[in-house]
Amino acid sequence: MGFLNKISIKSRLFLLVGLPLLFMSVFAGLEIKKLYGEVQSLNLLNARIELLKEQYVISSQVHTLKTEKLVGDIESNELNALSEAINRAFLLLPSAFSQSEKEGAENILKEMGEAKVELLSTSKEDLKDWSVWFDDLVSQFLITFEKNRVSTGNIDIEKNTEVLYQLQWLSFWAQEENWFIHQYKETNNNEFKQLLSTVIERQQLFIDRFIAISASPKQIDLLLKTFANPAFADSYKLREGILTEIMEESEIATGLQAFNDRFTLIQQVVQEVSISLVDDIKTTTTEIKTLMSVYLAAILLSMIIMCYLGTNLSRRILFYLSRVSKRCQN
């Protein structure tokens, strides 16, 4: 109390008005900082989804180039499309990863560019090794996404992001199966039959993970409806024919087309989940920005009101104290 008695009345009034406003501003500021961090994380995640789309383009173009190389010559427009996709992916890296995370992804994309150049001089005999090299790069790229997770503070968005990653892996292994079948058709090498069994198991693994860990009933229903497409049955028929060595020549062309259709269907599921996730991110970002605006408006309005009321109160108190002081002197 002795300390307070030493403080002037004006200072006490200032503290009475200013301290609550200061504490409120600090807490609101901390909340705004937290919300701003969430917006930054959502923007980062949105950029990663765009980067995943480019990864799909890269994988698709490489698959096309490999199959062209396997049976003949590479078309220049396909090679140009691959170069453009890699360049677009490079441009997205700064907004998709932090500085420390970006280096690994950048090195992978650089190596993809080197592999693209080397493909032109790769012989059919060496195409298998080249394919293993590039597939490993794609796998590393996908692992980079999963390893450097983005914390958004929104459980649903993070869960749907996990779903998207599982679908990307499913798409990757479906494309691998397609490639092994093309190689088996051209070389009749039983090694590809063994590899085929491996990728089938991996696809099943990611389907199980998709259903058991992350997916919502709506997403599971979407995948089941996709699997009900006749293309899946036709592709399974070719797969079984290769594994059992019981198939007719006429089934091969139908089965290969079915594999292409199946991959397209899986990618449509990926795209639908991706679009839904982007919409959720945009909606959440808008809500957070609105909340930040409300906090800022509340702080500003509180400051104006408290300053106005505090000033009036101070004037009145000081006025009455002045009158009391004059009366005491008289």
Task: Say if 115 falls within a structural domain.
Answer: yes
Q: Is 27 inside a domain boundary?
A: yes
pLDDT, tens only, 287-330: 888 888 888 887 778 777 777 776 776 677 667 666 666 666 65
Whether 13 shows a pLDDT value over 70: the answer reads no
Q: What is the mean pLDDT of the chain?
A: 81
Instruction: Kindly list the distances between the CA atom of residue 174 and the CA atoms of 171, 190, 232, in Å, as whole numbers in the listed order.
Output: 5, 19, 11
274 assigned to some structural domain: yes
The pLDDT > 70 percentage for the chain reads: 87
- Where residue 250 falls (left for φ over 0; alpha for ψ -120 to 50; beta otherwise) is alpha
Domain assignment present for 36 = yes
103 within a domain of the structure (yes/no): yes
Q: What is the pLDDT of residue 324?
A: 65
Tokens of 321: 């104290």
Per-residue pLDDT, averaged over 56-71, amounts to 86
Output Rg (C-alpha) for the chain, integer angstroms.
31
pTM of the model: 0.79
pLDDT at residue 6, rounded to an integer: 59
Q: What is the pLDDT of residues 245-262, one digit of tens each?
A: 777 776 777 877 888 888
3-class SS of residue 154:
coil
In a domain, 306, yes or no: no
The band of 17, judged by pLDDT with boundaries at 50, 70 and 90, is: low
> pLDDT band at residue 112, thresholds of 50, 70 and 90?
very high
> Per the structure, how many domains does the chain have?
1
- pLDDT of residue 10 exceeding 80: no
Structural domain span for residue 271: 17-294
Weakest-pLDDT range from 39-43, 168-172, 303-307:
303-307
Q: Indicate the length of the chain as a whole number.
A: 330
Instruction: Tell me which of 89 and 202 has the higher pLDDT.
Output: 89
* Tens-place pLDDT, residues 183-236: 888 777 777 777 877 888 888 887 777 777 667 788 878 877 888 888 888 887
On whether residue 42 sits in a domain, the answer given is yes
Asked if residue 305 belongs to a domain, the reply is no
CB atoms within 10 A of CB 4: 9
DSSP 97: S
